[in-house]
Amino acid sequence: MTQTMTIAQLLVRKLALAGVKKIFGLPGGGSSLDIIAAAAAENIQFVLTKTENAAVMMAGALAETTGVPGVALMTKGPGLTNAANGVAYASLDRAPVIVLTDGFTPKQLTYITHQVFDQQAVLKPLVKAVSRLESGNPEDEIDALLATATTHPLGPVHIELTSETARRHVDVVQPNGHDSKVNAGQKRPQVMRPIDTKQLEALRMTLRKARKPIVVVGLEARAHSDAVRTFIQSLGCAVLMTYKAKGVVPDESPQVLGIFTGGSLEQEAIAAADLMVLVGLDPVELILQPWRYTTPVVDISSFKHPVHYVEPSVQVIGSITDILIELTSAGEVSQKEWESTELARLRTNARTQLAYAPVKQAVAPDRVAQLAAVCCEKAGVKPYFSIDAGAHMFSVAAFFPAQRPGDVLISNGLATMAFALPAAISAAVQEPAATVLCFTGDGGLMMCLGELCTAVEQRAKIVVVVFNDSSLSLIDIKQQSRSLEPNGVRWQHHNFAATMSALGGFGVSVATEGEFEAAMEQALMTKGPSLIDVLIDPSGYPEQLKAMRG
């Protein structure tokens, strides 16, 4: 059966078939309006954000947690440039996002210069592909873009859609028995390269010889949690996880020693091992320092990264699940020589190094994370949580546990501020019944403060925990380390709780641990968005940074 529809309707129909249920954005008066109208007809919700940057982050966070491509919509010109940071996040944090912008027709460019620049050139370093859907077969163009976004390395694609093209009619052949809802929610399958049997055998031999392997789990492993858990249990190994891989193996597992960043905190554990097994580690996750470990390395990855910190002795590329199943089902993996007492000691040592000394006033950041976790456990809540870039990130990542892949949302590849709040809103919109915690610094919150309005409008069940120390703490630390005067990194104390209350949410300021616990208990019972403005003692941040990175 053939159906006539506009390009905008065709695009939205294809998005629905890919499982898209939300579009985030800030529209202009051109093709944006056609997309919004078409989305409503397909029962796809349009979520109006306050900035284009946040829209892309929300779309990316949704894609990271569901595996379904995220969609962000904005106008041409300033809309696109305001979104560029979000597109960079989607690129470096491996989030498949469809970036929809308006554009100019060739005829318009003969007389218009207002808001005109080469939009494709602006986003070219950040996106995997671009299209204007102007060919004779726009359906194939859309399919190709979706496939590109969801092929490793996952990332954003750009559709520059003029009003003229959006409204152009095309004939589309509908397969019998299919409509726009048949495949909604299904993930697009990855086409993986065949596993190199020689490399797989070499990996088997290497694992067989190792007595104390340590597995480092990275972001690519999030979609392979069951296989990873079976593998590490069979191996009886120690485990480290990157920020984005938290929850692939539950933090409560006695095999998990902590976070891997490429820093100094994990050196003791790696030195005790005789083999590092990288599972889904993307080098974009590591800090800006050379590889510092001498332990031999093998690598299991979805694809070969052209630039890496280390050259593994053996590398197996392909479906991580298939590779791990091959290793475990063949009986080649056996219990190793890690003692439970040694694992416990290494885990305790790492946490002790990151712990704050007792503070005399305000609240220590590690205690904020620990007390938040206790309050959630008492309330029987297993929350999703987001973490913004900043000094507070060390405490939250170390002391707030994750149990499931996708529990934590964090920008690690770009490490951008102003990510945690949009990500938390995205998670709450996706699962309205869930509780979502947002751990953010005051600097990061100020960069996206308007999205508190979005949280209120969406009635998002999020608890925003603000680490309020009136400074850009990480930059402040680096300034202090160079014995420079504290210029340009500090500001006056701001009352974010009052802001939240004024916008229609629940807001409270706290300055002690007891006040924080009481506020958390109330926030967890609140139906809409809440914000807890915590007065933080930043005095221990330099020692935390030194312990983490050296």
pTM score > 0.85 for this model?
yes
Specify the pLDDT at position 188.
45
3-class secondary structure, 87: helix
The residue with greater pLDDT, 537 or 316, is: 316
Specify the pLDDT at position 186.
38
Residue 356: both structure tokens together: 């704050």
Specify the pLDDT at position 178.
43
Could you tell me if 265 and 204 are in contact, meaning their C-beta atoms sit under 8 angstroms apart?
Answer: no
Instruction: State yes or no: pLDDT of 393 exceeds 90.
Output: yes
Specify the pLDDT at position 181.
38
Q: What is the pLDDT of residues 256-291, one digit of tens each?
A: 999 999 999 999 999 999 999 999 999 999 999 999
357-380 exposure pattern, b = at least 16 Cβ within 10 A, e = fewer: eebeebbbbbbbbbbbbebbeeee
Give how far Cα 92 sits from Cα of 97, 192, 414, 482, 529, Å: 12, 21, 6, 30, 29
Q: What is the mean pLDDT of the chain?
A: 92
Instruction: State yes or no: pLDDT of 189 exceeds 50.
Output: no
Instruction: State yes or no: pLDDT of 511 exceeds 90.
Output: yes
Beta-carbon contacts of 97 under 8 Å, excluding residues fewer than 6 positions away, are: 56, 59, 60, 63, 69, 70, 71, 72, 87, 90, 149, 155, 156, 157
Specify the pLDDT at position 532.
98
Kindly indicate the confidence band of residue 416, based on its pLDDT and cuts at 50, 70 and 90: very high
Look at residues 24, 14, 26 and name the one whose alpha carbon lies nearest to residue 60. Answer: 24
Across the range 467-482, mean pLDDT stands at: 75
Please give the radius of gyration of the chain, using alpha carbons only, rounded to the nearest integer: 24
Instruction: State yes or no: pLDDT of 487 exceeds 80.
Output: no
Specify the pLDDT at position 187.
45
- Distance from C-alpha of 362 to C-alpha of 151, rounded to nearest angstrom: 47
Which residue type is seen at 187?
K
Specify the pLDDT at position 191.
55
Instruction: State yes or no: pLDDT of 79 exceeds 80.
Output: yes
Portion of the chain with pLDDT greater than 70, in percent: 94
Instruction: State yes or no: pLDDT of 546 exceeds 60.
Output: yes
Q: What is the DSSP string of 130-166?
A: EE---SS-HHHHHHHHHHHHTSSSP--EEEE--HHHH
Beta-carbon contacts of 153 under 8 Å, excluding residues fewer than 6 positions away, are: 94, 282, 303
Give 68: exposed, middle or buried? Use CB within 10 Å, 0-12, 13-18, 19+.
buried
Instruction: State yes or no: pLDDT of 509 exceeds 90.
Output: yes
Look at residues 189, 188, 185, 166 and name the one whose alpha carbon lies nearest to residue 43. Answer: 185
Across the range 321-335, mean pLDDT stands at: 80
Dihedral angle sign, alpha carbons of residues 243, 512, 520, 464 = negative
Residue 427: both structure tokens together: 């998670």
Residue 327: both structure tokens together: 């290793």
Across the range 114-133, mean pLDDT stands at: 96
Instruction: State yes or no: pLDDT of 183 exceeds 50.
Output: no
Residue 222: both structure tokens together: 């999030």
- Distance from C-alpha of 263 to C-alpha of 303, rounded to nearest angstrom: 24
Across the range 329-338, mean pLDDT stands at: 70
Q: At residue 475, what are phi and psi to the nearest 5 degrees?
A: -70, -35
Q: What is the pLDDT of residues 230-247, one digit of tens each?
A: 999 999 999 999 999 999
Specify the pLDDT at position 471.
65
Across the range 190-200, mean pLDDT stands at: 81
Which residue has 């149990």 as its token pair? Answer: 403
Q: What is the pLDDT of residues 353-389, one digit of tens each?
A: 999 888 888 999 999 999 999 999 999 999 999 999 9
Q: What is the DSSP string of 118-134?
A: -HHHHHTTT-S-EE---
Cα 384 vs. chain centroid, distance in angstroms? 12
Which residue type is seen at 480?
Q
Specify the pLDDT at position 538.
84
3-class secondary structure, 257: strand
Could you tell me if 218 and 54 are in contact, meaning their C-beta atoms sit under 8 angstroms apart?
Answer: no
Kindly indicate the confidence band of residue 184, based on its pLDDT and cuts at 50, 70 and 90: very low
Cα 519 vs. chain centroid, distance in angstroms? 27
Instruction: State yes or no: pLDDT of 180 exceeds 70.
Output: no
Q: At residue 380, what are phi and psi to the nearest 5 degrees?
A: 70, 30
Could you tell me if 462 and 455 are in contact, meaning their C-beta atoms sit under 8 angstroms apart?
Answer: yes
Instruction: State yes or no: pLDDT of 185 exceeds 60.
Output: no
Which residue has 């850009």 as its token pair? Answer: 472
Kindly indicate the confidence band of residue 302, based on its pLDDT and cuts at 50, 70 and 90: very high
Specify the pLDDT at position 482.
77
Dihedral angle sign, alpha carbons of residues 278, 282, 286, 292 = positive
Specify the pLDDT at position 331.
61
- Distance from C-alpha of 530 to C-alpha of 16, rounded to nearest angstrom: 32
Which residue has 């009986």 as its token pair? Answer: 331
- Distance from C-alpha of 433 to C-alpha of 527, rounded to nearest angstrom: 10
Could you tell me if 197 and 220 are in contact, meaning their C-beta atoms sit under 8 angstroms apart?
Answer: no
Instruction: State yes or no: pLDDT of 436 exceeds 90.
Output: yes
Across the range 39-67, mean pLDDT stands at: 97
The pairing of strands 70-74 and 22-26 is parallel
Residue 171: both structure tokens together: 């004939």
